[in-house]
Structure 1
Amino acid sequence: MRNLFFRSASPSPSNSPSRSTIPPSSPRHSFSDSLMEENIEIAQTLIMKWDSSDASSYTKLTSLFYDNRQEAKLYLKCVRDLQSAMHHFVNSPDSSAEKLITAQTLMQTAMKRLEKEFYQILSDNRENLDAETVSSSRSSESRASPPRTPTRSSVSDLESESEDESTFLEGEQIATIPMEDLKSIADCMISAGYGKECVKIYKIIRKSIVDEGLYHLGVEKLSLSQVQKMNWNVLETKIKYWLNAVKVAVKNLFYGERMLCHYVFSASNSVRESCFSEISKEAAMTLFGFPELVAKCKKSPEKMFRTLDLYQAISDLWPEIESIFSFESSSAVRSLGVNSLIKLGEAVRTMLEDFEAAIQKDHSKTAVPAGGVHPLTRYVMNYITFLTDYTEILADIFADYPLTLQTPLPEAYFGCYDVDESPISVRIAWLVLVLLCKLDGKAELYKDVALSYLFLANNLQYVVAKVRNSNLKYLLGDYWVGKHESKVKQYADNYERMGWSKVYASLPENPTAEISSDQAKKYFKQFNAAFEEAYKKQSSWVVTDPKLRDELKVAVAKKLVPAYREFYEKHRVGLRRECGVDSLVRYAPENLDNYLSDLLYGASGAGSVSSSFSTSCSNSQGL
């Protein structure tokens, strides 16, 4: 600096005519020089007043921006004026090096003071400058006033400062004032060439706030081995915490931090980018690295839905993630998010394949008591129904992975949609088909053919009801539902025919035909034996669907009761006086409906033929 500003006079040529006639003169002192010197003097008075290097000064314990805000703004103006004076003397050939050195010393003192103020504002406003408050504060300001020019200092000329301050105090939230102060100091320090000191303080304090915020959201840094060793219940709990945390972290924590960084360092794009990236990168990598760790764990069908939740959370937030971490220095965060989606998608595809394999490999040989709904049916259909809540996500995951089968699916498994454009519909239809084929095999476990058909009717009715009453109906379509409802009806008809054929056959083809008394007795005996056998056998059978149960009872009653009534009324007069008629004619026609109504509720709801004998006999004795 001394070499730059202490210049030696250049010798004049010996033949110069003026050398002996013009006396030496002092350097020119212009009006600009006087103005700049005055700026230095004014700045010196205020800067030295707030010089914190003096241990005895009260300024070490007070804040310029808290104690006297008007003076703080004047302080920043003095620094700008001091900077202008330095530029003037640097570019002036006749400048005084002493003045420049004085200005430089004052500038260093001022920067130390502003550095202290910057740190104190950041430290004292940790709670006020939380991400949510910052976000709402900036949003309210953008609605209330036109956008600010990014490079303009937030401290305007003194004539308008009091008006601005009043507006902030009355209309803005509590975060606005410290944000304005931080921006003013940052603009001033960066402009003076002291941005490095300012940025260092900002990064240290704000990074600790971001890390602390993520910790309070329940997100912790885990290794792959730690995640793999976790019990699933523990890991699922951490996934739940993460799902709640990621929304807050993206929409508030990182978004608010970027807005604050963007605002405070609006004077420099490079500073703004480097600050935000260094503050948020570690926390963001911890947050978005967790789903990838989960995806790498051992896969099983019960983990499917939490894996889909993780995928959906990142997918839904991706526009915000991509926008917040749009800087080139944040590309690692974006790459990690994309990689987590890829790994989660691979995990989902593997688990769905394992789910299908588990259905096909089910080799349980125990028939479900009473022909009810098989646990496999309930499990598979509930699982598939839950899958439909993720239709859009599954479509994204399987977009480039069409289902390849040895043979095409039967036409009955598709609705009114284009198969080529509905890969998820195809996969769901295929899983249902795998289940129904498995149920066909399990029906063979029943020794009674009628019970086999009842089992198939129960299970297919359960499947159809699940489809009709869930989002599955939009994937499989009305055509699919109609086809399988017809199949349920077919199974029900087969049950009714097989289960009651002997009872129907125990009566004569023409119930009103003239027959002998002995023949009538024979038919009554046949009917009693067939009906009691069927009733006893089916008293423990069950139909879980109320509508299907009523339809089956009505079908049996329509065929059985009218025929029996005609036969009963035709031959009751001839048998009235014979001995033992009470034991022979056991059932009055009006009582058959009562017996049938007890059926198909299972063992707990079934009635008993023997317990109803007294009612029938008492009715018969009155004939």
Structure 2
Amino acid sequence: MRKLFFSPENSPSSSSISQFPTFSRQAGSSPSRLTYADSVMNRTLRMAEPIIMKWNPETTTVAAVTSLFYENHREAKELIQWVNNLQKAMGLVVMENTNQEKLVRAQNLMQIAMKRLQKEFYQILSMNRAHLDPESVSNLSSRASTRSSTSGYEDDGDDDIRAANQLIFSEVEGASRAAMADLKLIAECMISSGYGKDCVNVYKIIRKSIVDEGIYRLGVEKLNPSHIHKMQWEVLDVRIKSWLNALETAVRTLFDGERMLCDHVFARSDSIRESCFTEITRSGAMTLFGFPENVVKNSKKLPEKVFGALDMYTAISNHLPEIKSIFSFDSTTNIKTKAETSLITLSEYVKSALNDFELAILKDSSKTPAPGAGIHDITIDAMNYLSQLADHRSILTEIFPESPPPEHNLLPETYMGLTNPDDPPPSPISVKIAWLILSILCKLDTKSKLFKDASLSYLFLANNFQYVVVKVRHSNLRHMLGDKWLLLHEYKVKQFASSYERLGWGLVIESLPSDPSSLTSRDQVKETFRKFNRTFDEVCMKQSLYVITDSSLRDEIKKSLARKIFCSYRELYDTHGRTMGGDRNTAVLVRFTPDDVGHRLSELFSDRVEPGTTLPFASSSVGFGSPCSFERW
């Protein structure tokens, strides 16, 4: 008690001391005279008893139904002051071991006052739910920060805006600050009087209900594993999106505002602040931060689930510094650990999903070729998957900080376009993505052997490689693989297109003389026209079944064929076509005009094939080169 009442930090304030009798006992005074403690107690009881009894909820109807802090704020602060004085007077009586009857009377008054203050504490918390909601409390700090940062700015327009904003928020802000101040005043009085437990219990019950209700309203609820496993992806995806919004609001508003309120009300006691905040937020926080781990562990394996996992990883990672700051107490370590565990679980799931993706490509054994040597479904699906992954490249870089497995390091430097020793090495995630695309290209090489015609195999590879290149160029994959990778694979597309032209159109090109004037006899001219008619007609009939889906590749191949066929035929036609006019079989010999040839070429490679079209496919091993050699790529 000596430490409590005579230590510097607990010494009575000047305003409190002024209300005590200011006399001292003299040596040798008569024992019948009042002691200093008795005098202080008498005066304190005389002043404190009327106001305490006035607001005794058990003796007056008005006190039972009215809020003291709402009806008469000045009198409320006066009651707090006299309760504090009563506590000090009781301390003096205890130290001097004087009139115990007065001590019992004071204790009874103290109990009545504590009941009153507990009731007031409850009423303030209950009646000001809107003003003490976490968003309002959190905004107090942000608005104060904004005012502080702009207080020196001298612009009339901005001054008007700030004044307007101040008018909008002043009422809510004022009510919030007043309620927080009253709660703090009551809490400090009850705690210093030894009734902190009653105050804390009320606070925990009301504020926990607010936090739990807030989590529920944000759409977060604890789900059992079997429920998640049975859930359709569309439903689970909606829940994930709802959780992403909930995390943002919960961290920056709900938990942050609750921490600020708790720190303010119980500013005098670190232990009470910690116990209150921990008990209020533990259940809601554990449910919120445990949701991602629950989802990835218990939901069905689906390719699209990886994007939900990446979104959840991004959200927790971005908010982790705030989470650690808000839940900085030792007793909230398990909450921080739960958030960090979810990050680890999500990271491991993403790594596993990419390995499963690679394995699915390698295991694909479908024997149905792409119609018209067009884009295979595996190319479309795989590249769409990877391009969406690339949208999360910054997070993937965080998830894949180490080098990929040793077998992935077998990628030759030329595959990544790295021919200069001074080139910076690619990031681990770039190597991982490059390896996955290589797996796709190798699988496409295997698929190309399903075509009986070798030229068709090359057209299939040109189509699909072009799709890969375009997808990389127009997505964030470009930033991961680099322009050198693109140049290398664009060159591969040209090689495949050239091989297709050579094998598919070689007979037509060879049927045309490089110099029409070298044909000196009429028979040579006739044979040349006959050979061109036959080969051109056959090849055009065959090639009309094939497609080139990319417009730029289609135009390049058409231009190349026009240079090699149309121009050569026009020269042959201009040189010898009219000289055949006297022949009875001219119409048979010269079946095509240059315009006819140009028209036939322009109609080739429609971007779709009609259903039911029969194409020259075969599952034989007709092919070229090794099934997947790095030198080829």
| Both proteins in one fold, TM over 0.5 | yes
Residue 511 in 1 paired to residue 511 in 2?
no
Shift of 1:574: 2.0
Alignment of 1:85-484 (within 5 A): 85-93=89-97, 95-141=98-144, 172-297=173-298, 298-400=300-402, 402-405=404-407, 408-415=410-417, 422-484=427-489
Distance 2:29 2:491 in 1: 120
- Which of 55, 62, 65 aligns to 1:58? It is 62
Structure 1 residue 33, shift from structure 2 partner? 5.0
Q: CA deviation at 1:171?
A: 8.8
Aligned partners of 1:140 and 1:172 also within 8 Å: no
Give 2:525's aligned residue: 520
Unaligned runs of 5+ in 2: 1-27, 150-168, 611-633
Name the SS for the 2:58 alignment partner: coil
Q: What CA deviation, in whole Å up to 9, does each residue of 1:271-297 have, x standing for no partner?
A: 000000000001111111111111212
Cα distance, 1:565 vs structure 2: 1.6
- Tell me how far 1:415 sits from its aligned partner: 4.3
Q: Assess, with a 3 A threshold, how the Cα gap between structure 1 residues 144 and 583 changes in structure 2: closer, same or farther.
A: closer
Deviations 1:486-511 (A, max 9, x none): 11111111111112111112223431
The 10-residue stretch of structure 1 (565-574 or 215-224) with the greater mean CA deviation from structure 2: 565-574
TM-fit CA distance, 1:77: 1.4
The separation in 2 between residues aligned to 1:260 and 1:385, in whole angstroms, is 45
2:255–2:326 contact (8 Å) kept in structure 1: yes
Rounded to whole Å, the distance in 1 between the matches of 2:425 and 2:252 is 38
Partner amino acid for 1:109?
A: I
Provide the rounded CA distance (Å) in 2 between the counterparts of 1:407 and 1:174.
Answer: 64
Change (3 A) 1:362 1:171: closer
Residue aligned with 2:517, SS: coil
After superposition, the Cα gap between the structure-2 partners of 1:458 and 1:50, relative to the gap in structure 1 and judged at 3 Å, is same
Of 55, 60, 74, 2:78 maps to 74
Say if 1:334 and 1:232 are closer, same or farther in 2 by CA, change over 3 A.
same
Partner SS, residue 447 of structure 1: coil
The amino acid that maps onto 2:276 is C
Identity of aligned residues (%): 52
Partner Cα separation in structure 1 for residue 142 and residue 83 of structure 2: 31
For residues 515 and 228 of structure 2, the distance between their equivalents in structure 1, rounded to whole angstroms, comes to 76
Which residue is 1:618 aligned to? none
Report the Cα distance in structure 2 between the residues aligned to 1:169 and 1:549, rounded to whole angstroms: 67
1:597 aligns with 2:602: yes
Q: Distance in 2 between matches of 1:492 and 1:428?
A: 26
Q: Which residue of 2 aligns with 1:559?
A: 564
Shift of 1:109: 0.7
Residues 37 and 96, structure 2, Cα contact 8 Å, conserved in 1 = no
Closer/same/farther in 2, CA of residues 406 and 291 from structure 1, 3 Å limit = closer
**Does 2:31 correspond to 1:29?**
no
CA distance in 1, matches of 2:414, 2:377: 25
Say if 2:131 and 2:172, in contact at 8 Å, map to a contact too. no
CA positional deviation for 1:449: 1.6
Q: How far did 1:51 drift?
A: 0.6
Q: CA deviation at 1:141?
A: 4.4
TM-score by length of 2: 0.84
Partner Cα distance (2:29, 2:525) in 1: 157
Per-residue CA shift, 1:167-207, capped at 9, x if unaligned? Answer: x9779343222111111111111111110000000101111
Shift of 1:86: 1.7
Measured against aligned partners, the alpha-carbon deviations of 1:45-68 in whole angstroms (never above 9, x if no partner) come to 1111101012x4211011001111
Structure 1 residue 563, shift from structure 2 partner: 1.5
Query: Could you tell me how far apart the structure 1 residues matched to 2:597 and 2:236 are?
Result: 58
Which moved further from structure 2: 185-194 or 513-522?
513-522
How many residues of Structure 1 are paired with residues of Structure 2 in the alignment? 561
Counterpart residue type for residue 174 of structure 1: A
| Alpha carbons 1:370, 1:602 under 8 Å: kept | no
- Higher deviation after alignment, 527-536 or 211-220: 527-536
Q: 1:142 to 1:194 in 2, by over 3 A?
A: farther
List per-residue Cα deviations over 1:386-433 (Å, max 9, x = no partner). 111222322222224632207711223224597766110110110011
CA distance 1:139–1:562, change in 2 (3 Å): closer
Alpha-carbon contact 2:290-2:342 (below 8 Å) kept: yes
Q: Label 1:203 to 1:406 Cα distance change in 2 as closer, same or farther (>3 A).
A: closer
1:528–1:180 distance in 2 versus 1, CA, 3 Å: same
Q: CA RMSD in A?
A: 2.4
The answer to whether the 8 Å contact 2:69/2:76 transfers is yes
What letter matches 2:250 in structure 1? A
Secondary structure of 2:304's aligned partner: helix
Query: For 2:561 and 2:212, how far apart are their aligned partners in 1?
Result: 72
The amino acid of 1:97's aligned partner reads Q
CA distance in 1, matches of 2:36, 2:286: 58
d(CA) in 2 for partners of 1:421, 1:464: 19
Distance 2:543 2:376 in 1: 18
CA distance in 2, matches of 1:30, 1:216: 61
Gap regions ≥5 residues in structure 1:
1-22, 147-167, 606-623
Return the letter of the residue paired with 2:432: R
Q: CA deviation at 1:118?
A: 0.6
What is the CA distance between 1:570 and its match in structure 2?
Answer: 1.5
- Contact 2:41–2:102 (8 Å) recurs in 1: no
1:159 paired residue number: none
Are 2:546 and 2:609, in contact at CA under 8 Å, matched by a contact in 1?
no
Amino acid at match of 1:360: L
User: SS where residue 290 of structure 1 aligns?
Assistant: helix
Name the structure, 1 or 2, with higher relative contact order (CA <8 Å, separation 6+): 2
- The residue type paired with residue 188 of structure 2 is D
Change (3 A) 1:303 1:169: closer
Give the AA of the match of 2:76. A
Do the aligned partners of residues 407 and 318 (structure 1) sit closer, same or farther apart at CA in structure 2, a change above 3 Å counting?
A: closer
Check 1:358–1:24 CA distance in 2 against 1; reply closer, same or farther (3 A cut): closer
Name 2:586's counterpart in structure 1.
581
Larger mean CA deviation between 361-370 and 342-351 belongs to: 342-351
- Taking structure 1 as reference, are residues 534 and 408 closer, same or farther at Cα in structure 2, changes over 3 Å only? same
Shift of 1:225: 2.5
Partner amino acid, structure 2, of 1:135 = S
SS at structure 2 position matched to 1:355: helix
**If the length of structure 1 is used for normalisation, what is the TM-score?**
0.86
